[in-house]
Amino acid sequence: MRRAFAALAAALLCAGVAVAVPLAGVSQEVIDSDAMPPKLSAFGLFRGNDPKMPSTGVGYTLRAPLFSDYTDKYRFISIPMGKNAKILADGVIDFPVGTVLVKSFGWSDVNDGRPVETRLLIRRAGGWTALPYIWDADGKDATLALGGRRVPVSFKSPDGETHSIRYAVPNKNQCKECHSLNGEIVPIGPKVRNFILDPAASSQLRGLYFDNPAALKPTMPQWDDPKSGSVADRARAYLDVNCAHCHNPGGSASNSGLFLRWTDDPTGVNFGLGKRPTAAGRGSGGMDFAIAPGDPDHSFLIYRLESTDPGIAMPEVGRSTVHKEGAALLRQWIAEMPKASH
């Protein structure tokens, strides 16, 4: 599913669609307004309302994607004609007003591969607006779900295990919780260092959208590809994408003192090494440290990642299953750390 969309994205780029010249049906007027249409089709972002066929924009994948119950994700960016994104000094992309970040979630073995939901993050004059849409049963359109919803689904994870869950589509406030930085809604995944671009299209993408090509490096390792980086580098990339949107000095978990950005936070106490919990509770599992070097079984960071209990699990929203492969990488990383001397 991901490969099919990546191929589609590359085809769009190579065909010139990536210049963000809207095709018939794209409504920039709706995008730029304060409207929250009850139906996704009002934006005209898809050809024939097919979530696998964007009307315009740039498709992309991420080196280290956020784990969301093993969903496959289709991502693309629609930027208004004649406008460019800017890359800031820290590698964050500053998208122009009128940009829409589109992400659809689904499983290849559920509903013939059709997405369950599509989330929009729209850059409007007053800031970013997050809108969640749930696809209707007939797959012809999607309906706005500001209050979120639980959708019962059964799917298989890569190891062949069957999972039956009530998949959580976040409500608008939960979107804000994860996408908050210094009180403002911001994108999470689309950082220059985290992009995977098709080699044949990347130069076109840089020329059309980004005014600072040098900022495309260094790139983040792919957490599940040992060839892309060391265990430590890949573990930190995983934590950055899955945890650091809240665990940073300007995030919603800033009061925890646990900061988990990829290269911005030193691997000391504030990164979790030998860090005691800020408050007693079930979340620590009775353990002393977030990360106990050399001892993953007594690191409550692992304890929380491997739990689905709402009072213990981290991240708090966005998953109803345990990401076994991600937890295994973090276990290996902690196990390989030299134990603290006493």
- Residues 158-172 have pLDDT tens digits of 999 999 999 988 877
As a whole number of angstroms, the distance between CA 312 and CA 310 comes to 6
Total Cβ atoms within 10 A of residue 228:
16
Q: With 0-12 CB in 10 A as exposed, 13-18 as middle and 19+ as buried, what is 291?
A: buried
As a whole number of angstroms, the distance between CA 200 and CA 220 comes to 20
Residue 175, both tokens: 């979107």
Q: Does position 16 have pLDDT exceeding 60, yes or no?
A: no
Average pLDDT for 165-180: 75
Closest of 123, 108, 101, 115 to residue 169, by C-alpha = 115
What is the tens place of the pLDDT at every residue in 210-261? 555 565 667 889 999 999 999 999 999 999 999 888 888 887 777 888 888 8
Q: Does position 52 have pLDDT exceeding 90, yes or no?
A: no
Total Cβ atoms within 10 A of residue 83:
13
What is the tens place of the pLDDT at every residue in 29-46? 999 999 999 999 999 999
Predicted confidence band of residue 4 (pLDDT cuts 50, 70, 90): very low
Give the predicted TM-score (pTM) of the model: 0.83
**Average pLDDT taken over every residue of the chain:** 81
